[in-house]
């Protein structure tokens, strides 16, 4: 790679940075049950003003639940926009005002899979589709697992009523991501991040309350 511009890492640390541009006009095109569609006129300075339409989203959490046998919990449910039943990790919206992300993750794990966890750490953060949405997702690693008692289990409705649960060896889940069998972004990111972190002795894990500056404001 010698001689390729940028190949040696010049230009400072390799880290995303917040760099908002002035919005000279903003319009809500549609208010939805979960997300809104917004149109902004954005001042890019010398590049002029551009118009961008995007989805404003409350953000989400996802959970890689790993048991003592190194198996990851996967759920299969129907996703109407892609007309498919996808294998996913448990996940859910940050739709409770002021709720810590780890508390939302614990709630979603219990509601979707009847599973509890005593140990929580951050695996990865990602923007699901930064060209068309402001959605930010935090992926947690959950370990020291248990079961929700039968009397406290959540009644699942809609697509969640048909959830199928499977415990899959982490290495098999990695293989299914790499051969194109799994497509859900939280599952892809979470499974690969868990495998990479495990290979490094879990040294990359962050505390459950680690800073998350890209979390949507509301």
Residues acting as catalytic residues: 160
Q: Cβ neighbours of residue 45 under 8 Å, at least 6 residues apart?
A: 21
- E-state strands within 32-184: 36-43, 49-56, 60-65, 71-79, 84-88, 91-93, 115-127, 136-147, 164-169
Beta bridge partners of 78: 85
Burial of residue 192 (number of CB atoms within 10 Å: 0-12, 13-18, 19+): middle
CA distance 100 to 38: 26
Residue at token pair 């868990």: 194
CB atoms within 10 A of CB 54: 18
Helix axes 170-178, 185-199, angle to 10 degrees: 130
CA distance 92 to 154: 14
Q: DSSP 3-state helix, strand, coil percentages of the chain (rounded to 5)?
A: 25, 40, 40
In the 8-state DSSP scheme, what is residue 11?
S
User: In 68-184, which ranges are continuous DSSP H helix?
Assistant: 101-113, 170-178
């Amino acid at each position: 790679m010698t001689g390729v511009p940028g190949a040696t890492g010049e230009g400072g640390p390799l880290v995303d940075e917040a760099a908002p541009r002035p919005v000279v006009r903003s319009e809500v095109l549609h208010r939805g049950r979960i997300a809104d569609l917004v149109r902004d006129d954005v001042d890019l300075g010398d590049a002029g003003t551009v118009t961008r339409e995007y989805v404003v989203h409350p953000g989400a959490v996802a959970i890689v639940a790993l048991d003592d046998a190194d198996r990851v919990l996967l759920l299969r449910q129907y996703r109407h926009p892609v007309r498919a039943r996808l294998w996913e990790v448990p996940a859910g919206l940050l739709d409770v005002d002021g709720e810590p992300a780890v508390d939302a993750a614990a709630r979603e794990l219990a509601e979707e899979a009847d599973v509890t966890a005593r140990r929580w750490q951050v695996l990865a953060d990602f923007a699901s589709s930064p060209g068309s949405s402001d959605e930010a997702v935090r992926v947690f690693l959950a370990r020291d697992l248990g079961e929700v008692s039968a009397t406290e289990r959540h009644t699942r409705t809609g697509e969640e009523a048909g959830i199928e649960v499977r415990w899959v060896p982490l290495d098999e889940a990695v293989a299914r991501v790499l051969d194109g069998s799994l497509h859900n972004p939280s599952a892809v990111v979470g499974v690969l991040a868990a495998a990479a972190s495990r290979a490094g002795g879990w040294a990359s894990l962050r505390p459950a309350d680690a800073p998350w500056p890209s979390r949507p404001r509301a």
